[in-house]
Structures are given as structure tokens and as C-alpha cells.
Amino acid sequence: MTSNWFVNMAYFVVAVVFILGLKAMASPVSARRGIVWAGFAMVGATVVTFFTPGLHNVGLMVLAIVLGGGVAWYSGKIVKMTDMPQMVAIYNGMGGGAAAGIAAIELVRGVPHDGVTSTLLALGAIIGAVAFSGSCVAFAKLQGLMTKAIRLRAQNNVNFFLTLATFGVGLTVAYADAPGGFEIFLFFALALALGVVLVMPIGGADMPVVISLLNAFTGLAVGFKGFVIGNPALIVAGIVVGASGMLLTQLMAKAMNRPIRNIIFTPLTGAAAEGGEAVEGTMRELSAMDAAALMRYGQKVIIVPGYGMAVAGAQHKVWEMAQLLEEGGVEVSFAIHPVAGRMPGHMNVLLAEAGVPYDKIFDLEEINADFAQADVALVIGANDVVNPVARTDKSSPIYGMPILNADLAQNVIVVKRGKGAGYSGIENALFYKDNCRMLYGSAQEAIGQVIQHVKALEV
């Protein structure tokens, strides 16, 4: 009795520390502290588990922790910042896979549960398996292993009937007194297939929302498994992560002005180019020297980073250029759209890694009114988040989506690798406006050339 009381109190303490850590992550100033607190809480919960009465297979648990921790530590050390979205995706998947694995063990054991526990067992297994396979598909897309979205014929019908079959088999297996091996295998095969089929059609434009949603799925699955096996730490951590993930998903979907159901069942892919009015005009190119002169002799420059900056790994060059401009008396700030990049907070992470101070990074609501007073808006690899058709063209798939008002700046410079329409397939009307000029090339090379010309102008 005393031992159980100690374990439960210890779980309560680490749960509180974990929640405080998550709260601290809400502010850039305290985010590092929050990560440390949450990390210590997770380590503490793992240690407390070893004091659980009647614990078996301690050696296997230690081996799993050492192997898993070692792989995570090594991969975290060597991963490039440009590869962070796919790393987040696969880590999300591992959590969901672990929850599904716990469910599989419970089903194989055949221990009878009450109705509520059996239902949570089935739900946790389905959500965990979907999060695992869906995250693997997201990883493959972000890593370039899957180069295009794959949409099946009658995709939504396939989604519906596969979901129906998965839940039907899952609940049947969970409520059975002694489910057979084939039934359990069929259940997980259907759940894994569901995750693949749901995520396959989704393109890069929707990937930040998908990663956030899969993260929420993983949290919910872990929370449900905690209830099934009676582990308070898993219940608290899973439900907190699931709830915060769902809230983040809702906020990001709102930032795109698209319901979550549309993102899953009507994803933005290359086919989106078929919608919307035709864009007229021509793209006008400028040289790196002209770009450097426009910014160096301006008073206010707003930089809009996007996925192109991430792919090129140009964040350090961009910050070096910004510092040179500031030394010349130019006011420089960074504008971040909530869904820029391929994961939540992608641009914030890259700019922080480059050393950009937090007080120079602004969200859409904070900076949108400033574009009209800016001499130059420098767009680096961003596309849909600065497309003015979201304000003007009711037939466009992105109409109503809040965008950064880069087109209202006196001059707009767009750094872009080519003349393609971007991941969503929607042509960007900004590129054809009279005040916009294109600087073609990799962001790393293009900004490097601009830096050289800015330095020359100082001489």
C-alpha cells in the first residue's frame, strides 16, 4: 500500500513538472527552460516506473531504454535543421507505434476488460496505428522518397469504408474474450492501411497541419493506453499532448481558413491549379546587385522566410545579410506565417538556430499592418502564404486564407529556385505584380550574392 502511494505521488509530481514545462514552451524566452523541465519529467516518470509493485522484465526494459535513448540521442545530434520536419514526423510515429504495440500485447494476453476499457483499448490501438503509418508516409514525403501525392479513385469512399471496417473489427476484437491471432492481425493491418490511405493524397502545402494532427493522435493513443494499463503518467502526458496538439491543429487550420475535414478529405495538391482565375502578366527578373541596392538604400525591410529557405539551409546567410543592413541603418524584421514550412514553428526554429533575436520575429497579426510602410518585402521561398488571390479571387482554393500582405510593400523581391507554382499548384499573383521582381536561384547562393553586393555598397 505504501509503495503504491509513493508511486502515485511520484507520478503526480512529474506530471505537474511536465505540464509546467509545456506551459513554459509557450514563450520563446522560456522555451528552453520548458524543454528541460519536460525532459526531466519524462525521465522521472521512467524512473518511477521501476518502483511499480510486481514489475517484471526489468532487464528488457533497461535494454529498450538504452537502445531507444541511444538511437534518439545520436539521430538528434546528427540531424540537419533542414531535416527537422521529417524527424518530428517519424518521432510522432514512434509514439503512436508504441501505443499500438501496447494494445497488441493486451489483446494477445486476452485479459478480459470492462466495456469502457475495451473501447479505449480499441480506440487507442486504431489511433496509434494510424499515427504510426501516417507519420511514416509523412516522413517519406518530406524526405523526398515520395515525390507526389497519390490519390485513389473514389478516395473519400475508400476512406469511409476502410474506417468503418477498422472500427468494426477493432471493437469486435477488443470485446472478445479470447481473440484469435488472425483477427488481431487483420485489425492492425486495417488500421495501418487506414493511416497510409489518409495521408497519401495530402501534399506539402498541408503538411504542417497533418504533422500537428498526427502528433495529437499519438498523444491521445498514449493517454488511452495509460488508462488501459493503469499508468497515471501516460494518462496525463498523453491527454495533455493530445489536447494541445488538437488545439494547435485547429489554430493552423484556421490560419489556412480551411476546416480540418477539408485538409484530410480535400487536400491541396497540384490539382488545385485547376481552380481560380488565370493570372495575367509576366514575371520580371532583377539582379542580386539591384536587390542589394533596393534594400541597402531603403529604410524598412521585412523578410518573409518560407520552405525554400529551409531547403537551401540559408537561414545563416539571411541573418548575416540582415545584420549588414542594420549596420547601414536599415530597420529589418522577420514576418512568419503560422503554416510556413513543413511543420509547426518551422521558420521560428530555423531563425532561432541562426541566432535571430526573438524581438525581430513577428507573427502575421503583429506585422501585417507594417508592410504598407516597408520599402522592401523580401520573400525567400514562400508561396501560398503571400499569394494575394487569397484576398481577391473567390474561386481560388485558398480564398479567405489569411496571408502576409507582402504585396502592399513599395517593392517586393522574391527569391525563388524557378518559375513553378509551388506545392499547392496555385499560381501566385504576387509574382506578376508591377512592384514585384524575381531573384532566381537557390536561397543560399542568391542571398550570398546579395551579401557581397551590400558589402561593396558600404565601401
Residues marked as catalytic: 384
DSSP codes of every residue in 32-98: HHHHHHHHHHHHHHHHHHTTSTT---HHHHHHHHHHHHHHHHHHHHH--GGGHHHHHHHHHHHHHHH
% helix / strand / coil in the chain, to the nearest 5?
A: 65, 5, 25
DSSP annotation string for 203-242: -GGGHHHHHHHHHHHHHHHHHHHHHHHT-HHHHHHHHHHH
Closest CA to 240 of 266, 220, 224, 260: 220
Q: Which of 219, 214, 260 is nearest to 237 (CA)?
A: 219
3-state secondary structure of 160: helix
Residue pair 338/363 in contact by the 8 Å Cβ criterion: yes
Surface-to-core class of residue 359, CB atoms within 10 Å of its CB (0-12 exposed, 13-18 middle, 19+ buried): exposed
